[in-house]
Amino acid sequence: MAGPPLFILFLRLISLVLPRKLAQLTSFAAFFLTGMITMMLCALYGVFASILLRAVGYGGLSQWTVARAFKWSMWLFTGVTFRVTESGKIEGGRRGGEEALLTRPVVFVGNHQTEMDVLMLGCTFPKYTSVTAKKSLKFVPFLGWFMALSKTVFIDRANRATARAAFDSAAQTMRTQRQNVFIFPEGTRSYAEEPRLLPFKKGAFHLAVQAQVPIVPIVTANYAHVLNVKRKAFHPGTIDVSVLPAIPTKGLAAADVDGLVKKTQDAMLEELIRLSHVSGAGNGVPLPRASGVEKDEQGELRRRG
């Protein structure tokens, strides 16, 4: 059992003396191994935590407690974490940030960059929240067991009928148990080195309309400067996450989903570009017109950009 940690320590030590390119690769390998081992250990903890929490009637907290364990473990072992920031936007009197995170039940939607988004979930999502995952993960030891015990919504992308049934069940759970659901509407990781989004799939929005619950967009700043999978590079750091105001779906029907998708994606892309300037890594993308941002905060954001 001491073998993997010692090997990771060895990689970190030799990265201090190796030439730059080799040091970058060994540092990346150390981070990757640390993340995998930490996730598996937290998933194992999650199996027992889920059984216990379900036995006492608090099964909806399973993913939250494991998420927080993963958050602090990764911060301790790798020096990387995500922090929630206030976007300054107001929509229909609703604010983002912590206020939006405490709204229940909702469908959270977020941009999907790399495998490290699992840590973003660990640092961000609130109590009584479950994720969606592809069905094949259900059979992964420890991780799949934990997910099955903690109300994960498994989606079989190859089977439209079973995918629809999974969303029907999720909508019912959301209404009766006030359980949130987190979905990455891009459907796959972008591995983007600049602030951009892939086209959105509609499943999350159909679910929100079906359950008649709000959509809360969560936008993670582009973090290629912290983890760049294409270049095999990793550097410790803190990554900003912006929670936008909830978008209501009350009274909407299936015919309104296309407009809901566009509204959400436009808001998220604008915020993603803004975050890239606030963090000092604008990548040459023009700062969007900050509609909905309070005037004093708008001026500050542009100065910081």
Could you tell me if residue 227 is inside a domain?
A: yes
What pLDDT sits at residue 298?
Answer: 47
Please give the Cα distance from 244 to 252 (Å, whole number).
Answer: 20
% of the chain residues with pLDDT over 90 = 58
What pLDDT sits at residue 90?
Answer: 77
Structure tokens, 102: 């405490």
Q: What is the mean pLDDT of residues 241-264?
A: 95
Could you tell me if residue 58 is inside a domain?
A: no
Could you tell me if residue 259 is inside a domain?
A: yes
Please give the Cα distance from 294 to 10 (Å, whole number).
Answer: 50
What pLDDT sits at residue 164?
Answer: 76
Could you tell me if residue 51 is inside a domain?
A: no
Q: Given its phi and psi angles, is residue 128 left (phi above 0), alpha (psi -120 to 50 degrees) or beta?
A: left
Q: Given a cut of 90, is residue 69 above it in pLDDT?
A: yes
Could you tell me if residue 156 is inside a domain?
A: yes
What pLDDT sits at residue 26?
Answer: 95
Please name which of 206, 204, 184 lies closest in space to residue 257, comparing C-alpha atoms.
206
Give 210-238 as a DSSP string: HHT--EEEEEEPP-TTTEETTTTEE--EE
Residues in Cβ contact with 1 at an 8 Å cutoff, skipping those fewer than 6 apart: none
Cβ atoms 116, 273 nearer than 8 A: no
What pLDDT sits at residue 294?
Answer: 46
* Count of structural domains, the chain: 1
Q: What is the mean pLDDT of residues 192-219?
A: 94
What pLDDT sits at residue 38?
Answer: 95
User: Which CATH number does the domain housing residue 144 bear?
Assistant: 3.40.1130.10
Please name which of 271, 267, 263 lies closest in space to residue 241, comparing C-alpha atoms.
271
Dump pLDDT digits (tens) for 14-54.
Answer: 988 899 999 999 999 999 999 999 999 999 999 999 999 99
Q: What is the mean pLDDT of residues 231-258?
A: 94
Whole-structure pTM value: 0.85
Could you tell me if residue 154 is inside a domain?
A: yes
Strands 107-110 and 180-183: parallel
CA 95 to chain centre: 20
Distances (CA, A) of 192 to 115, 186, 195, 273, 275: 12, 12, 7, 13, 15
Residue 183, domain extent: 80-304
Give the mean pLDDT of the chain. Answer: 86
Q: Given a cut of 80, is residue 196 above it in pLDDT?
A: yes
Dump pLDDT digits (tens) for 94-117.
Answer: 888 888 898 899 999 999 999 999
Could you tell me if residue 106 is inside a domain?
A: yes
Could you tell me if residue 43 is inside a domain?
A: no
Q: Given a cut of 60, is residue 210 above it in pLDDT?
A: yes
